[in-house]
Chain A
Amino acid sequence: MNFFQADETMRRPLPTTPMEKPGGDDSGGPSAPKVKRPDTRQLLDRMKRVDPEQAKRYRQRSGQ
Protein backbone atom coordinates (compact mmCIF):
# COMPACT_ATOMS: atom_id res chain seq x y z
CA MET A 1 0.00 0.00 0.00
CA ASN A 2 1.23 3.44 -0.81
CA PHE A 3 -0.96 6.27 0.40
CA PHE A 4 1.18 9.10 -0.80
CA GLN A 5 4.75 9.52 -1.85
CA ALA A 6 6.06 11.82 0.84
CA ASP A 7 7.41 14.35 -1.55
CA GLU A 8 8.49 17.71 -0.16
CA THR A 9 6.09 19.61 -2.40
CA MET A 10 3.21 18.08 -0.50
CA ARG A 11 4.31 19.37 2.85
CA ARG A 12 3.76 22.93 3.84
CA PRO A 13 4.26 23.71 7.52
CA LEU A 14 1.42 25.37 9.33
CA PRO A 15 1.73 29.16 9.65
CA THR A 16 3.84 30.19 12.61
CA THR A 17 2.68 33.83 12.82
CA PRO A 18 0.70 34.43 15.99
CA MET A 19 -2.99 34.59 15.26
CA GLU A 20 -5.76 36.16 17.21
CA LYS A 21 -8.35 33.58 18.01
CA PRO A 22 -11.99 34.36 17.42
CA GLY A 23 -14.12 35.01 20.46
CA GLY A 24 -15.41 31.73 21.73
CA ASP A 25 -18.26 32.02 24.18
CA ASP A 26 -21.11 29.57 23.86
CA SER A 27 -23.76 32.09 22.94
CA GLY A 28 -22.09 34.22 20.32
CA GLY A 29 -22.20 33.83 16.57
CA PRO A 30 -19.12 33.50 14.43
CA SER A 31 -16.65 36.29 14.87
CA ALA A 32 -14.08 37.57 12.42
CA PRO A 33 -10.78 35.78 12.96
CA LYS A 34 -7.78 38.01 12.41
CA VAL A 35 -5.45 35.90 10.36
CA LYS A 36 -2.58 37.05 8.19
CA ARG A 37 -3.21 35.72 4.69
CA PRO A 38 -1.85 36.25 1.20
CA ASP A 39 -3.09 39.32 -0.64
CA THR A 40 -6.62 38.51 -1.71
CA ARG A 41 -7.64 41.98 -3.00
CA GLN A 42 -8.24 40.69 -6.51
CA LEU A 43 -10.35 37.95 -5.06
CA LEU A 44 -12.44 40.48 -3.16
CA ASP A 45 -13.14 42.16 -6.51
CA ARG A 46 -14.24 38.79 -7.87
CA MET A 47 -16.53 38.44 -4.87
CA LYS A 48 -18.10 41.82 -5.58
CA ARG A 49 -19.09 40.55 -9.02
CA VAL A 50 -21.04 37.61 -7.56
CA ASP A 51 -24.78 38.12 -7.94
CA PRO A 52 -25.91 38.56 -4.30
CA GLU A 53 -29.19 36.81 -5.11
CA GLN A 54 -27.83 33.79 -6.95
CA ALA A 55 -28.44 31.53 -3.94
CA LYS A 56 -32.11 32.55 -3.91
CA ARG A 57 -32.58 31.32 -7.48
CA TYR A 58 -30.38 28.26 -7.08
CA ARG A 59 -32.74 25.27 -6.96
CA GLN A 60 -31.58 21.71 -7.46
CA ARG A 61 -33.15 18.29 -7.60
CA SER A 62 -32.67 16.23 -4.48
CA GLY A 63 -29.91 13.71 -5.10
CA GLN A 64 -28.35 10.91 -3.18
Chain B
Amino acid sequence: MNSLFGIETEYGVTVEGADATGLVAASREVVQSYSGRSAGPWNYRAEDPRNDVRGFHVDKLSQDPTDAQFDKPGDKVASPTEDRCDRVLLNGARLYNDHGHPEYSTPECSSLRALVAHDKAGERIILECANAYAAKTGKATQIFKNNTDFHGASYGTHESYLMQRGVAWDDVIYNLAPFLATRIIYAGAGKVGIEERGAPSCSYQLSQRADFFSVLQSVDTLHNRPLVNTRDEAHGDARRFRRLHVIAGDANLSEYATALRVGATNLVVALIESGWETPVTLRDAVRSIKQISRDQTYRWLVEGSDGNHISAVDVQRAYWRAACKLELPGSEWLLDEWQATLDALAEDPWQLGDRLDWVAKKLLLDEFAEAEGLDWEQDALTLQSLDLAYHNVDPAEGLYYGLVESGAMLTLVTEEEIEAARCAPPSDTRAALRGLLVRRFADTIKSASWGGLVVEEAGERINLVLPEAAADYPALCQQIETAASAHDVAAILRKA
Protein backbone atom coordinates (compact mmCIF):
# COMPACT_ATOMS: atom_id res chain seq x y z
CA MET B 1 0.00 0.00 0.00
CA ASN B 2 1.06 3.61 -0.55
CA SER B 3 0.83 5.39 2.77
CA LEU B 4 0.48 9.08 2.12
CA PHE B 5 -1.85 11.49 3.82
CA GLY B 6 -2.37 15.10 4.85
CA ILE B 7 -4.78 17.40 6.66
CA GLU B 8 -6.15 20.75 5.48
CA THR B 9 -7.66 22.95 8.17
CA GLU B 10 -9.81 26.02 7.68
CA TYR B 11 -9.37 28.07 10.83
CA GLY B 12 -11.97 30.29 12.44
CA VAL B 13 -10.77 33.87 12.82
CA THR B 14 -11.97 36.98 14.62
CA VAL B 15 -10.58 40.42 13.93
CA GLU B 16 -11.58 43.40 16.00
CA GLY B 17 -14.02 45.52 14.03
CA ALA B 18 -14.59 42.95 11.25
CA ASP B 19 -18.04 41.42 10.83
CA ALA B 20 -18.81 38.38 8.67
CA THR B 21 -18.81 40.56 5.56
CA GLY B 22 -15.34 41.89 6.32
CA LEU B 23 -13.87 38.53 7.28
CA VAL B 24 -12.80 37.56 3.75
CA ALA B 25 -10.57 40.63 3.48
CA ALA B 26 -9.42 40.34 7.10
CA SER B 27 -8.48 36.69 6.69
CA ARG B 28 -6.56 37.58 3.53
CA GLU B 29 -4.59 40.20 5.43
CA VAL B 30 -3.89 37.75 8.23
CA VAL B 31 -2.45 35.26 5.72
CA GLN B 32 -0.45 38.04 4.02
CA SER B 33 1.17 38.75 7.39
CA TYR B 34 3.19 35.56 7.10
CA SER B 35 6.81 36.68 7.14
CA GLY B 36 8.69 33.43 6.59
CA ARG B 37 10.31 32.43 3.33
CA SER B 38 7.64 31.27 0.89
CA ALA B 39 6.63 31.17 -2.76
CA GLY B 40 3.52 31.56 -4.88
CA PRO B 41 1.03 32.10 -6.39
CA TRP B 42 -0.83 28.81 -6.73
CA ASN B 43 -1.37 27.31 -10.15
CA TYR B 44 -5.11 26.62 -10.22
CA ARG B 45 -5.05 25.43 -13.83
CA ALA B 46 -4.02 22.00 -12.61
CA GLU B 47 -7.16 21.67 -10.46
CA ASP B 48 -10.85 21.19 -11.13
CA PRO B 49 -13.13 20.90 -8.08
CA ARG B 50 -16.15 20.34 -10.33
CA ASN B 51 -14.80 17.07 -11.70
CA ASP B 52 -16.74 14.20 -10.15
CA VAL B 53 -15.07 10.83 -9.58
CA ARG B 54 -18.29 9.14 -10.75
CA GLY B 55 -17.45 10.18 -14.27
CA PHE B 56 -19.14 13.51 -14.85
CA HIS B 57 -18.47 17.20 -14.52
CA VAL B 58 -20.84 19.69 -12.90
CA ASP B 59 -21.41 23.18 -14.25
CA LYS B 60 -21.22 24.80 -10.85
CA LEU B 61 -20.90 23.92 -7.18
CA SER B 62 -23.71 24.66 -4.70
CA GLN B 63 -23.32 27.79 -2.61
CA ASP B 64 -24.70 28.33 0.87
CA PRO B 65 -27.58 30.84 0.48
CA THR B 66 -27.25 31.95 4.11
CA ASP B 67 -23.60 32.77 3.60
CA ALA B 68 -24.34 34.65 0.38
CA GLN B 69 -26.15 37.33 2.39
CA PHE B 70 -22.77 38.48 3.70
CA ASP B 71 -21.60 39.37 0.17
CA LYS B 72 -22.64 42.96 -0.39
CA PRO B 73 -23.53 43.88 -3.99
CA GLY B 74 -20.93 46.19 -5.45
CA ASP B 75 -18.15 44.99 -3.17
CA LYS B 76 -14.83 45.08 -4.99
CA VAL B 77 -14.06 41.46 -5.80
CA ALA B 78 -10.39 40.56 -5.76
CA SER B 79 -9.13 38.15 -8.41
CA PRO B 80 -8.90 34.53 -7.15
CA THR B 81 -5.12 34.89 -7.00
CA GLU B 82 -5.33 38.12 -4.97
CA ASP B 83 -8.11 36.76 -2.80
CA ARG B 84 -6.41 33.49 -1.92
CA CYS B 85 -2.86 34.83 -1.71
CA ASP B 86 -1.46 31.29 -1.66
CA ARG B 87 1.98 30.65 -0.28
CA VAL B 88 4.01 27.46 -0.35
CA LEU B 89 6.21 27.26 2.72
CA LEU B 90 9.66 25.95 3.52
CA ASN B 91 8.10 22.90 5.16
CA GLY B 92 6.25 21.96 1.98
CA ALA B 93 2.89 23.10 3.34
CA ARG B 94 0.38 25.43 1.68
CA LEU B 95 -1.01 28.53 3.40
CA TYR B 96 -3.87 30.56 1.93
CA ASN B 97 -7.13 32.38 2.46
CA ASP B 98 -10.17 30.21 1.79
CA HIS B 99 -13.19 32.52 1.73
CA GLY B 100 -12.68 34.11 5.11
CA HIS B 101 -10.66 31.31 6.70
CA PRO B 102 -6.88 31.16 6.97
CA GLU B 103 -6.18 27.66 5.73
CA TYR B 104 -3.17 25.46 6.31
CA SER B 105 -2.58 22.27 4.34
CA THR B 106 0.09 20.05 5.81
CA PRO B 107 2.70 18.65 3.46
CA GLU B 108 2.23 15.06 2.36
CA CYS B 109 3.23 12.78 5.24
CA SER B 110 3.90 9.05 5.32
CA SER B 111 3.91 8.60 9.10
CA LEU B 112 1.44 9.64 11.76
CA ARG B 113 4.21 11.10 13.84
CA ALA B 114 5.16 13.50 11.04
CA LEU B 115 1.53 14.33 10.38
CA VAL B 116 0.79 15.21 14.01
CA ALA B 117 3.90 17.40 14.18
CA HIS B 118 2.97 19.21 10.94
CA ASP B 119 -0.65 19.65 12.02
CA LYS B 120 0.56 21.29 15.24
CA ALA B 121 3.11 23.36 13.30
CA GLY B 122 0.18 24.63 11.21
CA GLU B 123 -1.56 25.94 14.34
CA ARG B 124 1.57 27.87 15.25
CA ILE B 125 2.07 29.28 11.76
CA ILE B 126 -1.52 30.55 11.60
CA LEU B 127 -1.19 32.02 15.09
CA GLU B 128 2.08 33.67 14.09
CA CYS B 129 0.27 35.30 11.14
CA ALA B 130 -2.52 36.52 13.44
CA ASN B 131 -0.07 37.95 15.95
CA ALA B 132 1.89 39.73 13.20
CA TYR B 133 -1.34 41.14 11.78
CA ALA B 134 -2.49 42.32 15.23
CA ALA B 135 0.87 43.97 15.91
CA LYS B 136 0.74 45.74 12.55
CA THR B 137 -2.86 46.95 12.72
CA GLY B 138 -3.55 47.17 16.45
CA LYS B 139 -6.64 45.00 15.94
CA ALA B 140 -7.14 42.13 18.36
CA THR B 141 -7.11 38.89 16.36
CA GLN B 142 -7.95 35.39 17.50
CA ILE B 143 -7.62 32.02 15.79
CA PHE B 144 -9.82 29.00 16.48
CA LYS B 145 -9.26 25.46 15.28
CA ASN B 146 -12.87 24.31 15.18
CA ASN B 147 -15.62 23.73 12.62
CA THR B 148 -18.63 25.81 13.59
CA ASP B 149 -19.69 29.32 14.54
CA PHE B 150 -22.74 28.03 16.48
CA HIS B 151 -24.97 30.02 14.11
CA GLY B 152 -25.10 27.44 11.32
CA ALA B 153 -21.86 28.20 9.46
CA SER B 154 -19.39 25.35 9.23
CA TYR B 155 -15.87 25.16 7.83
CA GLY B 156 -13.81 22.12 7.25
CA THR B 157 -10.96 19.98 8.40
CA HIS B 158 -10.32 17.70 5.47
CA GLU B 159 -8.12 14.68 5.10
CA SER B 160 -6.49 13.41 1.93
CA TYR B 161 -5.36 9.81 1.40
CA LEU B 162 -3.51 8.45 -1.59
CA MET B 163 -5.47 5.55 -3.01
CA GLN B 164 -5.17 3.19 -5.96
CA ARG B 165 -7.25 4.39 -8.90
CA GLY B 166 -8.20 0.82 -9.80
CA VAL B 167 -10.64 0.34 -6.90
CA ALA B 168 -14.24 0.82 -8.08
CA TRP B 169 -15.77 3.96 -6.56
CA ASP B 170 -18.93 2.10 -5.51
CA ASP B 171 -16.74 -0.21 -3.44
CA VAL B 172 -15.07 2.78 -1.80
CA ILE B 173 -18.41 4.27 -0.78
CA TYR B 174 -19.89 0.93 0.34
CA ASN B 175 -16.96 0.14 2.60
CA LEU B 176 -16.16 3.63 3.81
CA ALA B 177 -19.59 4.97 4.81
CA PRO B 178 -20.15 2.86 7.98
CA PHE B 179 -16.62 3.64 9.13
CA LEU B 180 -16.93 7.41 8.65
CA ALA B 181 -20.35 7.54 10.29
CA THR B 182 -19.04 5.82 13.44
CA ARG B 183 -15.45 7.07 13.87
CA ILE B 184 -16.71 10.24 15.61
CA ILE B 185 -16.89 8.19 18.83
CA TYR B 186 -13.14 8.81 19.10
CA ALA B 187 -12.53 11.52 16.47
CA GLY B 188 -15.28 13.96 17.46
CA ALA B 189 -14.15 17.29 18.88
CA GLY B 190 -17.35 17.82 20.91
CA LYS B 191 -19.89 20.62 20.58
CA VAL B 192 -22.29 22.47 22.88
CA GLY B 193 -25.71 22.66 21.22
CA ILE B 194 -27.17 21.71 17.87
CA GLU B 195 -27.35 23.56 14.56
CA GLU B 196 -29.89 21.67 12.50
CA ARG B 197 -33.32 23.19 12.11
CA GLY B 198 -36.13 21.00 13.39
CA ALA B 199 -33.84 18.58 15.23
CA PRO B 200 -34.55 17.84 18.90
CA SER B 201 -32.44 19.90 21.29
CA CYS B 202 -29.13 18.49 22.39
CA SER B 203 -26.99 20.18 24.99
CA TYR B 204 -23.72 18.44 24.07
CA GLN B 205 -22.80 16.23 21.14
CA LEU B 206 -19.72 14.33 20.03
CA SER B 207 -19.10 16.00 16.68
CA GLN B 208 -18.74 19.58 15.47
CA ARG B 209 -19.59 18.62 11.89
CA ALA B 210 -22.36 15.99 12.14
CA ASP B 211 -25.16 18.58 12.00
CA PHE B 212 -23.98 19.74 8.58
CA PHE B 213 -24.21 16.59 6.45
CA SER B 214 -27.12 16.10 4.07
CA VAL B 215 -26.17 13.35 1.62
CA LEU B 216 -23.91 10.31 1.44
CA GLN B 217 -21.79 11.46 -1.52
CA SER B 218 -21.48 14.58 -3.63
CA VAL B 219 -18.94 16.79 -5.32
CA ASP B 220 -20.25 19.74 -3.28
CA THR B 221 -18.57 20.87 -0.09
CA LEU B 222 -20.11 24.28 0.71
CA HIS B 223 -23.80 23.35 0.82
CA ASN B 224 -25.72 20.05 0.99
CA ARG B 225 -22.51 18.60 2.32
CA PRO B 226 -21.78 14.92 1.77
CA LEU B 227 -20.24 12.37 4.10
CA VAL B 228 -17.93 11.41 1.23
CA ASN B 229 -16.73 14.03 -1.23
CA THR B 230 -16.54 12.88 -4.86
CA ARG B 231 -14.18 15.61 -6.10
CA ASP B 232 -11.71 13.99 -8.45
CA GLU B 233 -8.42 15.79 -8.06
CA ALA B 234 -5.61 13.29 -7.78
CA HIS B 235 -2.86 15.86 -7.17
CA GLY B 236 -0.62 13.19 -8.65
CA ASP B 237 -0.64 10.63 -11.43
CA ALA B 238 -4.38 10.34 -12.04
CA ARG B 239 -3.93 7.17 -14.09
CA ARG B 240 -2.61 5.30 -11.07
CA PHE B 241 -4.00 7.14 -8.07
CA ARG B 242 -6.94 8.99 -6.70
CA ARG B 243 -6.98 11.27 -3.71
CA LEU B 244 -9.63 10.17 -1.24
CA HIS B 245 -10.92 13.50 0.07
CA VAL B 246 -12.61 13.03 3.44
CA ILE B 247 -14.58 16.05 4.60
CA ALA B 248 -16.47 14.38 7.43
CA GLY B 249 -13.86 15.04 10.10
CA ASP B 250 -13.67 17.40 13.05
CA ALA B 251 -10.70 19.63 13.87
CA ASN B 252 -8.89 17.81 16.64
CA LEU B 253 -6.70 19.65 19.11
CA SER B 254 -5.76 16.33 20.70
CA GLU B 255 -2.71 14.82 19.08
CA TYR B 256 -3.90 11.35 20.01
CA ALA B 257 -7.30 11.88 18.36
CA THR B 258 -5.62 13.21 15.21
CA ALA B 259 -3.33 10.18 15.02
CA LEU B 260 -6.17 7.72 15.64
CA ARG B 261 -8.54 9.45 13.18
CA VAL B 262 -6.06 9.53 10.31
CA GLY B 263 -4.32 6.26 11.15
CA ALA B 264 -7.51 4.21 11.36
CA THR B 265 -8.85 5.78 8.16
CA ASN B 266 -5.60 4.98 6.38
CA LEU B 267 -5.92 1.35 7.46
CA VAL B 268 -9.46 1.30 6.09
CA VAL B 269 -8.11 2.64 2.79
CA ALA B 270 -5.67 -0.31 2.80
CA LEU B 271 -8.55 -2.69 3.50
CA ILE B 272 -10.58 -1.32 0.62
CA GLU B 273 -7.59 -1.55 -1.71
CA SER B 274 -7.13 -5.18 -0.68
CA GLY B 275 -10.63 -6.04 -1.90
CA TRP B 276 -12.06 -6.54 1.59
CA GLU B 277 -15.80 -6.15 1.98
CA THR B 278 -17.31 -4.73 5.16
CA PRO B 279 -19.56 -7.17 7.03
CA VAL B 280 -21.47 -4.23 8.53
CA THR B 281 -23.51 -1.74 6.55
CA LEU B 282 -25.86 0.96 7.80
CA ARG B 283 -29.36 1.71 6.62
CA ASP B 284 -28.62 5.44 6.49
CA ALA B 285 -25.06 6.54 7.24
CA VAL B 286 -25.94 10.26 7.25
CA ARG B 287 -28.73 9.75 9.77
CA SER B 288 -26.45 7.48 11.81
CA ILE B 289 -23.65 10.03 12.23
CA LYS B 290 -26.16 12.53 13.59
CA GLN B 291 -27.75 9.94 15.92
CA ILE B 292 -24.38 8.87 17.27
CA SER B 293 -23.23 12.44 17.74
CA ARG B 294 -26.35 13.41 19.71
CA ASP B 295 -26.88 10.20 21.69
CA GLN B 296 -26.96 11.19 25.35
CA THR B 297 -26.88 7.55 26.49
CA TYR B 298 -23.43 7.00 24.97
CA ARG B 299 -24.55 3.59 23.73
CA TRP B 300 -24.47 4.82 20.11
CA LEU B 301 -26.86 2.28 18.60
CA VAL B 302 -27.56 2.66 14.89
CA GLU B 303 -29.65 0.72 12.43
CA GLY B 304 -27.87 -1.71 10.16
CA SER B 305 -29.03 -2.44 6.62
CA ASP B 306 -30.58 -5.66 7.92
CA GLY B 307 -32.81 -3.69 10.30
CA ASN B 308 -30.94 -4.81 13.43
CA HIS B 309 -29.31 -2.33 15.73
CA ILE B 310 -25.59 -2.31 16.26
CA SER B 311 -23.37 -0.09 18.37
CA ALA B 312 -20.88 2.29 16.76
CA VAL B 313 -18.18 0.59 18.84
CA ASP B 314 -19.03 -2.78 17.26
CA VAL B 315 -19.02 -1.27 13.77
CA GLN B 316 -15.53 0.06 14.47
CA ARG B 317 -14.46 -3.30 15.92
CA ALA B 318 -15.41 -4.97 12.62
CA TYR B 319 -12.98 -2.66 10.83
CA TRP B 320 -10.33 -3.08 13.51
CA ARG B 321 -10.50 -6.91 13.32
CA ALA B 322 -10.11 -6.81 9.55
CA ALA B 323 -7.22 -4.33 9.79
CA CYS B 324 -5.39 -6.66 12.20
CA LYS B 325 -5.46 -9.39 9.55
CA LEU B 326 -3.60 -7.14 7.11
CA GLU B 327 -0.55 -7.47 9.40
CA LEU B 328 0.96 -4.31 7.99
CA PRO B 329 4.43 -3.67 9.43
CA GLY B 330 4.54 -0.57 11.59
CA SER B 331 0.84 -0.62 12.39
CA GLU B 332 1.18 -2.17 15.87
CA TRP B 333 0.91 1.07 17.84
CA LEU B 334 -2.14 2.12 15.93
CA LEU B 335 -3.93 -1.22 16.20
CA ASP B 336 -3.21 -1.44 19.94
CA GLU B 337 -4.46 2.09 20.62
CA TRP B 338 -7.50 1.71 18.37
CA GLN B 339 -8.49 -1.45 20.24
CA ALA B 340 -7.86 0.06 23.69
CA THR B 341 -9.90 3.13 22.77
CA LEU B 342 -12.85 1.07 21.53
CA ASP B 343 -12.76 -1.09 24.67
CA ALA B 344 -12.71 2.01 26.86
CA LEU B 345 -15.55 3.63 24.91
CA ALA B 346 -17.64 0.51 25.44
CA GLU B 347 -16.80 0.24 29.13
CA ASP B 348 -16.53 3.85 30.31
CA PRO B 349 -15.79 6.69 27.84
CA TRP B 350 -14.77 9.03 30.66
CA GLN B 351 -11.50 7.11 31.02
CA LEU B 352 -10.47 8.79 27.78
CA GLY B 353 -10.52 12.33 29.12
CA ASP B 354 -6.76 12.62 28.70
CA ARG B 355 -6.80 11.81 24.98
CA LEU B 356 -10.08 12.43 23.16
CA ASP B 357 -11.30 15.96 22.54
CA TRP B 358 -15.02 15.37 23.03
CA VAL B 359 -14.42 13.66 26.36
CA ALA B 360 -11.85 16.18 27.61
CA LYS B 361 -14.09 19.11 26.73
CA LYS B 362 -17.17 17.55 28.34
CA LEU B 363 -15.32 16.80 31.56
CA LEU B 364 -13.93 20.32 31.68
CA LEU B 365 -17.28 21.97 31.04
CA ASP B 366 -18.98 19.75 33.60
CA GLU B 367 -16.36 20.63 36.18
CA PHE B 368 -16.82 24.34 35.51
CA ALA B 369 -20.62 24.12 35.41
CA GLU B 370 -20.62 22.39 38.78
CA ALA B 371 -18.18 24.87 40.34
CA GLU B 372 -20.08 27.90 39.01
CA GLY B 373 -23.59 26.52 39.34
CA LEU B 374 -24.28 26.66 35.58
CA ASP B 375 -27.21 24.91 33.99
CA TRP B 376 -26.65 23.18 30.60
CA GLU B 377 -29.91 24.53 29.19
CA GLN B 378 -30.14 28.01 30.70
CA ASP B 379 -26.45 28.80 30.43
CA ALA B 380 -25.92 27.30 26.99
CA LEU B 381 -24.41 30.53 25.63
CA THR B 382 -21.76 30.62 28.35
CA LEU B 383 -20.96 26.98 27.70
CA GLN B 384 -20.73 27.61 23.95
CA SER B 385 -18.31 30.44 24.67
CA LEU B 386 -16.20 28.03 26.70
CA ASP B 387 -16.48 25.45 23.91
CA LEU B 388 -15.10 28.08 21.53
CA ALA B 389 -12.33 28.91 23.99
CA TYR B 390 -11.28 25.23 24.02
CA HIS B 391 -10.33 25.66 20.34
CA ASN B 392 -8.39 28.92 20.71
CA VAL B 393 -4.91 27.99 19.45
CA ASP B 394 -3.16 30.60 21.58
CA PRO B 395 -1.46 28.52 24.31
CA ALA B 396 -1.97 31.38 26.80
CA GLU B 397 -5.73 31.53 26.19
CA GLY B 398 -7.00 28.24 24.80
CA LEU B 399 -8.62 25.76 27.16
CA TYR B 400 -7.18 22.74 25.37
CA TYR B 401 -3.74 24.23 25.91
CA GLY B 402 -4.64 24.87 29.54
CA LEU B 403 -5.31 21.14 29.88
CA VAL B 404 -1.96 20.34 28.26
CA GLU B 405 -0.21 22.76 30.62
CA SER B 406 -1.81 21.10 33.64
CA GLY B 407 -0.69 17.66 32.45
CA ALA B 408 -4.23 16.51 31.79
CA MET B 409 -3.76 15.70 28.09
CA LEU B 410 -1.63 13.02 26.49
CA THR B 411 0.63 14.42 23.78
CA LEU B 412 2.50 12.34 21.22
CA VAL B 413 5.18 14.50 19.68
CA THR B 414 7.83 16.68 21.28
CA GLU B 415 8.17 20.44 21.28
CA GLU B 416 11.33 20.01 19.18
CA GLU B 417 9.49 17.99 16.55
CA ILE B 418 6.76 20.63 16.22
CA GLU B 419 9.26 23.46 15.95
CA ALA B 420 11.25 21.51 13.36
CA ALA B 421 8.07 20.92 11.35
CA ARG B 422 7.51 24.68 11.09
CA CYS B 423 10.39 24.99 8.67
CA ALA B 424 11.38 21.49 7.56
CA PRO B 425 9.32 19.15 5.36
CA PRO B 426 9.00 15.40 5.89
CA SER B 427 12.14 13.85 4.38
CA ASP B 428 10.45 10.89 2.71
CA THR B 429 7.77 12.42 0.48
CA ARG B 430 7.80 14.81 -2.47
CA ALA B 431 7.22 17.61 0.06
CA ALA B 432 10.95 17.35 0.81
CA LEU B 433 11.66 18.54 -2.74
CA ARG B 434 8.99 21.26 -2.60
CA GLY B 435 10.42 22.68 0.61
CA LEU B 436 13.97 22.55 -0.72
CA LEU B 437 12.99 24.29 -3.96
CA VAL B 438 11.24 27.04 -1.99
CA ARG B 439 14.41 27.50 0.04
CA ARG B 440 16.61 27.68 -3.08
CA PHE B 441 14.37 29.49 -5.57
CA ALA B 442 11.65 31.36 -3.63
CA ASP B 443 12.42 34.67 -5.33
CA THR B 444 12.15 33.27 -8.85
CA ILE B 445 9.26 30.84 -8.42
CA LYS B 446 6.37 31.98 -10.63
CA SER B 447 3.74 29.42 -9.63
CA ALA B 448 3.32 26.35 -7.49
CA SER B 449 1.06 23.33 -7.17
CA TRP B 450 1.19 20.02 -5.34
CA GLY B 451 2.83 18.43 -8.37
CA GLY B 452 5.52 20.97 -9.15
CA LEU B 453 6.81 24.52 -9.41
CA VAL B 454 7.61 26.90 -12.24
CA VAL B 455 10.85 28.86 -11.88
CA GLU B 456 11.98 31.75 -14.08
CA GLU B 457 15.66 31.75 -14.98
CA ALA B 458 17.33 33.98 -17.55
CA GLY B 459 13.96 34.93 -18.98
CA GLU B 460 12.88 31.32 -19.39
CA ARG B 461 10.20 29.50 -17.40
CA ILE B 462 11.35 26.11 -16.21
CA ASN B 463 8.86 23.49 -15.09
CA LEU B 464 10.07 21.51 -12.09
CA VAL B 465 7.89 18.40 -11.80
CA LEU B 466 8.10 16.62 -8.46
CA PRO B 467 8.48 12.86 -8.81
CA GLU B 468 5.92 10.79 -6.96
CA ALA B 469 5.96 7.78 -4.65
CA ALA B 470 8.98 5.49 -4.66
CA ALA B 471 11.53 8.19 -5.52
CA ASP B 472 14.60 8.33 -3.28
CA TYR B 473 13.86 11.76 -1.86
CA PRO B 474 16.92 12.16 0.42
CA ALA B 475 19.23 11.32 -2.49
CA LEU B 476 17.39 13.71 -4.80
CA CYS B 477 17.59 16.47 -2.22
CA GLN B 478 21.36 15.99 -2.00
CA GLN B 479 21.70 16.37 -5.75
CA ILE B 480 19.45 19.42 -5.87
CA GLU B 481 21.36 21.09 -3.05
CA THR B 482 24.46 21.19 -5.23
CA ALA B 483 22.81 21.82 -8.60
CA ALA B 484 24.07 25.04 -10.17
CA SER B 485 20.83 26.19 -11.74
CA ALA B 486 17.11 25.54 -12.09
CA HIS B 487 17.90 23.97 -15.47
CA ASP B 488 20.13 21.44 -13.73
CA VAL B 489 17.43 20.79 -11.13
CA ALA B 490 14.92 20.10 -13.91
CA ALA B 491 17.32 17.59 -15.44
CA ILE B 492 17.80 15.83 -12.09
CA LEU B 493 14.04 15.64 -11.53
CA ARG B 494 13.41 14.30 -15.04
CA LYS B 495 15.79 11.41 -14.39
CA ALA B 496 14.27 10.52 -11.02
Known A-B contacts A59-B151, A60-B101, A61-B100; A1 and B331 likewise in contact (beta carbons under 8 Å): yes
Asked if A15 and B354 make an inter-chain contact with CB atoms under 8 angstroms apart, the answer reads: yes
B122 within 8 A of A: no
> Out of A26, A32, A40, A56, which one reaches B297, CB within 8 Å?
A26
B410 within 8 A of A: yes
B203 within 8 A of A: yes
In the assembled complex, the CB of B184 is this many whole angstroms from the nearest CB of chain A, namely 16
Count how many chain B residues have C-beta atoms less than 8 Å from C-beta atoms of the other chain.
Answer: 89
CB-contacts of B335-373 with A (<8 A): 340, 344, 348, 350-355, 362-364, 366-372
B70 within 8 A of A: yes
Asked if B333 and A61 make an inter-chain contact with CB atoms under 8 angstroms apart, the answer reads: no
Asked if B385 and A61 make an inter-chain contact with CB atoms under 8 angstroms apart, the answer reads: no
Chain B hits for A33, CB < 8 A: 350, 362-363, 366
In the assembled complex, the CB of B118 is this many whole angstroms from the nearest CB of chain A, namely 14
B153 within 8 A of A: yes
Chain A hits for B366, CB < 8 A: 30, 32-33
In the assembled complex, the CB of B166 is this many whole angstroms from the nearest CB of chain A, namely 19
In the assembled complex, the CB of A3 is this many whole angstroms from the nearest CB of chain B, namely 5
> Out of B297, B351, B368, B369, which one reaches A25, CB within 8 Å?
B297
Known A-B contacts A30-B203, A63-B155, A64-B222; A14 and B298 likewise in contact (beta carbons under 8 Å): no
**20 other contacts beyond A43-B403, A46-B402, A64-B247, with CB at 8 A cut-off?**
A1-B1, A1-B3, A1-B110, A2-B111, A3-B3, A3-B331, A4-B263, A10-B412, A12-B355, A14-B351, A15-B351, A19-B350, A24-B299, A30-B376, A32-B366, A35-B350, A47-B402, A52-B382, A56-B385, A62-B155
- B-side residues, CB < 8 A to A, are 1, 3, 10, 12-14, 19-20, 23-24, 64, 66-67, 70, 98-101, 110-113, 149-151, 153-156, 158, 203-204, 221-223, 247, 259, 263, 266, 296-299, 328-334, 340, 344, 348, 350-355, 362-364, 366-372, 376-377, 381-382, 384-389, 397, 399, 402-403, 405-408, 410, 412
10 closest Cβ pairs, A-B complex: A63-B155, A61-B100, A55-B384, A62-B67, A2-B330, A60-B149, A64-B221, A43-B402, A52-B382, A62-B64
Q: List 17 A-B residue pairs with CB atoms under 8 Å apart, sorted by A's residue number.
A: A2-B111, A4-B334, A21-B350, A29-B203, A29-B376, A30-B366, A35-B351, A40-B403, A40-B408, A42-B402, A43-B403, A50-B386, A58-B149, A60-B20, A61-B24, A61-B67, A63-B100
